[in-house]
């Protein structure tokens, strides 16, 4: 069994925040793969289903971001899971919008949700980093992540969420390479391989033919004509 955790803040006020892209990712997986209804448990909302042969529990902690680890730890203890069975989906300032990276272990890089999970289960869990870009200055980070995605972000955001849902079965099997391929097919589809037909060269018009009509005038007549 795998535990897929989406990070975010509960409530309609935060639903479209950049910080809530983790919630959006597990929602997309649940919808795409026919998971059961969401219900309250483990200080969060859970949905159960399968990805291929693997049983999956989706979890959205409702503890607010900086206490996410409480919910994750409770679910892990109940199902007797190891931290290596946990995959966390979260927003990533250090990746450009629309970029996705799967990562095993590592630091929390100041992310409050990851920091809380580190405190409760350690660092040996996997994560899917969902790029939202950086506002440019440190003092702008908080209002930026707690701000809604702009309308201009809708297309790439939809592609990312669809790609994550497409690749979720491979992620559940631990095949991060194939997961990333599935995401790339949505976010950076290959260009058409149909070669463009070169236009055929236009036929060159023949040069005007020289006047080859025979001049029947006599030499004297030609000389007289010059002085007319």
Domain boundaries, the chain: 2-187
pTM of this structure: 0.83
CATH of domain 2-187: 3.40.50.1470
Catalytic residues: 19
Instruction: Say what the pLDDT of residue 26 is.
Output: 98
96-102-19-108 Cα dihedral, nearest 10 degrees: -100
List pLDDT tens digits, range 60-102: 999 999 999 999 999 999 999 999 999 999 999 999 999 999 9
Q: For residue 1, count other CB atoms closer than 10 A to its CB.
A: 12
d(CA 129, CA 134): 14
What's the mean pLDDT in 22-45?
Answer: 98
Instruction: Say if strands 100-104 and 126-131 run parallel, antiparallel, or are unpaired.
Output: antiparallel
What the block records as the tokens of 116 is 């809380």
């Amino acid at each position: 069994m795998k535990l897929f955790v989406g990070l975010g803040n509960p409530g309609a006020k935060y639903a479209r925040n950049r910080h809530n892209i983790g919630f959006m990712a597990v929602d997309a997986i649940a919808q795409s793969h026919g998971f059961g209804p969401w219900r309250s448990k483990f200080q969060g909302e859970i949905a159960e289903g399968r990805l291929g042969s693997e049983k999956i529990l989706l979890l959205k902690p409702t503890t607010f971001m900086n206490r996410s680890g409480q919910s994750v730890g409770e679910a892990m203890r109940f199902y007797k899971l190891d931290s290596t069975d946990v995959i966390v989906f979260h927003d990533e300032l250090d990746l450009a919008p629309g970029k996705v990276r799967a990562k095993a272990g590592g630091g929390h890089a100041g992310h409050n949700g990851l920091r809380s999970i580190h405190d409760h289960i350690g660092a040996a869990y996997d994560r899917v980093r969902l790029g939202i870009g950086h506002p440019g200055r440190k003092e702008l980070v908080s209002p930026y992540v707690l701000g809604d995605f702009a309308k201009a972000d809708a297309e790439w955001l939809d592609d990312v969420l669809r790609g994550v849902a497409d690749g979720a079965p491979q992620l559940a099997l631990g095949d991060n390479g194939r997961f990333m391929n599935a995401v790339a097919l949505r976010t950076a589809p290959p260009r058409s391989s149909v070669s463009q037909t070169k236009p055929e060269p236009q036929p060159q018009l023949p040069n005007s033919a020289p006047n080859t009509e025979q001049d029947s005038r006599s030499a004297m007549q030609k000389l007289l004509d010059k002085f007319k």
